[in-house]
Amino acid sequence: MDSAQHDDVFTRTRIVDAMIHVLHQLPLHEVTPALVAAQADMSVEAMTASFPSWDGLLLASIDRWNDQRTTPLMPIAAEQGTIRFLRAIVMKNIENPSLMRFLTATLNIAAAPNHPLAPMLHSRWRRFQGFVQQSLAQDIAVGREPHTMEPARGAEQLIATYEGLQLQSMVRPEMDLLESFDRAVTRLREGWSRAYVPPVWDLTRAG
């Protein structure tokens, strides 16, 4: 890497870190290029030279911040299982809910079918879902989870529980998120231990 490339990487990292710092203080809809540039100690024009697109800065911030939080926790999945891994993320989010708040705010973008950032947000969600699914498959292989649980379905259910409870905790601040997570996952795993039975209202399969 030559000096110009190094300087560009350094500048972009500085801007992303400034964005993350501002997001610790403010919700996404209140964050502006001027605030981020001021935190990075540069002009808006200089910031725009490194990030011509606000969407690009959003995506870079998601990647860097998420990696900073999640990557150190990933060995937990292999050593202690998927549930412990997600529980560790929940604990980090309780300790500092800023990233959880930021990621939740981007759901509105991801759900907009014609937004240019939506496919990239989808790919990141699918990557996380894929990791959870593979981790659950490994849990089954080593006997941590029952063979009656399908990893794809288990990942779907586990992430729904994990994300849904975190969403509730943001609008119900009195909620004990960790206790709710532990209770819900205990119930979920109890269901995994039994063979799936089609629901009674699914008349095409129940008969």
Query: Tell me, what DSSP letter sits at residue 28?
Result: G
CATH 1.10.10 location in the chain: 1-52
pLDDT averages per 10-residue partition of the chain, 207 residues = 64 97 96 97 96 96 96 96 97 95 94 94 96 98 96 97 95 96 96 85 58
Architecture of the domain whose range is 53-195: Orthogonal Bundle (1.10)
pTM of the full structure: 0.89
Class for domain 1-52, per CATH? mainly alpha
Q: In the prediction, which pLDDT does 200 show?
A: 72
How far is the C-alpha of 105 from the C-alpha of 27, rounded, in Å? 8
CATH 1.10.357 location in the chain: 53-195
Cβ partners under 8 Å of residue 77, min gap 6: 84, 85, 131, 135, 138
Q: In the prediction, which pLDDT does 3 show?
A: 53
